[in-house]
Structure 1
């Protein structure tokens, strides 16, 4: 565990740095199926919508944000109130240092306190890794205790290639 990493609540003032982190994934990878990097204003609005109900956290190393994680509404229907869809991004220069695991650990604690039962993660996937997509996200989520529960074939097209979307699920606690 990297003790130099601090996890804290995100603020809207963090949006510009979070866009910097996210922009790498939008422009250079199939990890995100977005084609264009959102503006800081749009990203700030997205953050605000999440923060009304769920945790939005950042990882900080030496006063520098190196990653972020959040949980959001899976579906607006009441029956899904105990399930969230989460996203996690680590600065490309800080990957494989345990930051993602630290962020997920804190997110899970906070979600349990909210009574959340299920965490879902959507992960872009291709059977054969290419220059735009590795199996890193899939392997990370498996390592964090998620199981693959669905695979939507050829659902996202980016860089003139079709990619699958895996839905991965982790039970945080028994159904209440």
Structure 2
């Protein structure tokens, strides 16, 4: 069985082990080299109490098998209601439901936090991830053509957007992740 819980800085090395193959072997990640554990620890810490990082942990082995997180969509206080999301799982689990479970938990958590929009950036073509995102409620919002260069080629990046809550006027301010905790999707 797999338990979903809030990530801690102590999970950084396990998260890097999951993420590094995405950086090295394909264009899914926009980074050119994998971060070190210390850098990943800083990313988790910098998310602070507001932006969730959620890990899926195997109950028997205690191993982190995947993670999902949110970060600010753009700089500027007017964007504070929108987040960018991502989810990565251990390579051997690609065909299983862990990614969906992590993502659904992340989206449910963000909804409870009063965020209104989730944005995901996907390298294209990427039928498998597009299908996953559309299955969990994301819709294509646009495409940046030939905007990234990796592995010797120019790559298109698609934007997928999901409404989390109906925007109120005035909007409800986001609630701290530490106050909401991990919400099951």
TM > 0.5 fold call? yes
Match of 2:143 in 1: 151
1:51 is the counterpart of 2:43? no
Displacement of 1:52 after TM fit? 3.5
Structure 2: gaps (5+ residues): 169-185
Match of 1:70 in 2: 69
Displacement of 1:82 after TM fit? 1.1
| Distance in 1, Cα, partners of 2:167 & 2:39 | 35
Picking from 19, 22, 26, the partner of 2:23 is 26
Instruction: Map Cα deviations across residues 63-119 of structure 1 (whole Å, 9 max, x no partner).
Output: 211100011111231211111001110111111211111111211221112111100
Question: 3-state SS of the aligned residue for 2:47?
Answer: helix
TM-score after normalising by structure 1? 0.90
User: Aligned-residue CA RMSD in angstroms?
Assistant: 1.1
Shift >4 Å, 4+ stretches: none
| Distance in 2, Cα, partners of 1:103 & 1:88 | 7
| Distance in 1, Cα, partners of 2:147 & 2:131 | 20
TM-score after normalising by structure 2? 0.86
| Distance in 1, Cα, partners of 2:68 & 2:48 | 12
Structure 1: gaps (5+ residues): 127-133
